[in-house]
Copies of this chain bind each other. A is one copy, B any other.
Amino acid sequence: METGDSRERTDRLALGAWVKLARSAESVSTRIHGHLAAYRLTVSQFGVLEALYHVGPLSQRSLARKILKSTGNMTHVLNNMEKRGLVRRQPDPKDRRAVEVHLTRKGTQLVRNVFPRHAEIVRREMSILNTTEQHELGRLCRKLGLQTKEP
């Protein structure tokens, strides 16, 4: 498809872009999620709260897909959250294999507390980029992430 030389060049460019993407995501993530410890929330737990709050009740499988974790892990995460009274499992009447995961009042209150702080921190972290740049970053990342998962 390409000559060896041009191939090396595109490899270097792709590797560089990928490394920068991975490192920036990881270091920004560390900075953004630092404050969650104050609420004894893990990143996964926060992801679950956020999804349930914004989307409404979901099955465990949908939750797992949303936060990109395995279903086995989701069982574990939800067990911990249920113990703390943040979520409630409710049998799905339409499918007796499935459960609907609901936010409890306590979970709703917590996410209403945490989310504004979260948004503020994200805004601050991203504010190094101007509006146009944030749009462009979002566009490029969406394109990348949307690569076909199952052909």
Q: Which residues of A contact B (CB under 8 A)?
A: 7, 10-11, 13-18, 20-32, 68, 119-120, 122-123, 125-129, 131, 133-138, 140-145, 147, 149
A135–B28 CB distance below 8 A: no
- The majority secondary structure among interface residues of chain A is helix
Known interface pairs A11-B123, A31-B147; 7 further A-B residue pairs with C-beta atoms within 8 A, sorted by A's residue number:
A13-B126, A13-B131, A17-B126, A23-B141, A30-B68, A137-B140, A140-B140
B32–A141 CB distance below 8 A: no
Given known A-B contacts A11-B123, A18-B32, A18-B125, A141 and B26 have beta carbons under 8 A apart: no
Residue among A32, A120, A129, A145 having the largest count of chain B Cβ atoms under 10 Å: A145
B20–A131 CB distance below 8 A: no
A23–B68 CB distance below 8 A: yes
Of the residues B20, B23, B68, B147, contact of A137 by C-beta under 8 Å: B20
